[in-house]
Amino acid sequence: MLFTACQKNAITGRRSFSLIPESEMIAMSLTQYNKFLEEHYPLPAYDKNTILVKTVGLKIQRAVEKYYSDKGLSNQLSGFQWEFNLVKENVVNAWCMPGGKVVVYTGLLPITQDESSLAIVMGHEIAHAIAGHGNERMSQGMLVEFGGKVLSIALQQKPAITQELFQQAYGLSTGLGILKYSRNQETEADKMGLIFAALGGYNPEVAIAFWERMAKEGGGQKPPEMLSTHPSDDKRILALKAFMPEAKKYYKLN
């Protein structure tokens, strides 16, 4: 089981542990996303900040589709139904479910400060979903909770725990303890997110100032929700600076 669950990601080139077919993850995300929006009301479409989030989201969506098309991998985006919503909560966070279901919290906007920095965050979160990082985290959680049972059986036997694992994998709740992204996953999302933002027409260099603002936001107190699973430190910023010349190549294409 462990052997067959390890698959090579066509974009990152890294072998990852995934028990759950992406089609099942996308199907589950449709249910969980709608449930979330019923409990956390999104701001209306005419709100200026909602318009901003949807504008950035559409540009990143097109960038992702172009990136995959150029590599002959458009079939890997099959089943995606992109959606971008802004939720009015004082939480410094954003996330993306499989299939392109994205939520940004209003508490993040004072730190992003501008459209380009918002694109860095949304590109980063979309990259996590595109790279299957949530699938990896949920698969690891299922291995611990259920001994590797397939999703359909786990849902039948313990639906509440299975749904909680899904929510944990995508940063929606904290009921089972944080399922943290690994250093490799963070690095992949940082790099892919910069590329997606750059292809969307945003200068990737703004990422440095944004992550520095995020690091200061903690101020020695409890860190923002985003930093509980998205570590921001000197090594990360150095890695971003090192990758910046590559990311800027995509920005110059615009």
User: Half-sphere exposure (CA, 13 Å, Cβ side) for 215?
Assistant: 13
Q: Tell me, what DSSP letter sits at residue 42?
A: B
Q: Pull the structure tokens for residue 143.
A: 């291995």
Strands (E) across the chain are located at 6-8, 15-17, 83-87, 94-97, 101-105
Q: Which of 191, 209, 210 is nearest to 248 (CA)?
A: 191
How many Å apart are CA 22 and CA 223, to the nearest integer?
Answer: 32
Give whole-number Cα distances, 221 to 75, 154, 217, 218, 227, in Å: 44, 38, 9, 5, 12
Q: Pull the structure tokens for residue 118.
A: 């918002």
Structure-token match 């077919």, residue found: 21
Which one of 125, 164, 186, 225 is the catalytic residue? 125
How many Å apart are CA 167 and CA 192, to the nearest integer?
Answer: 23
Residue 39 annotated as catalytic: no
Q: 194 near 204, Cβ under 8 Å? A: yes
> Nearest 5 degrees, angle CA 52-CA 62-CA 173?
60
- Residues with catalytic function: 125
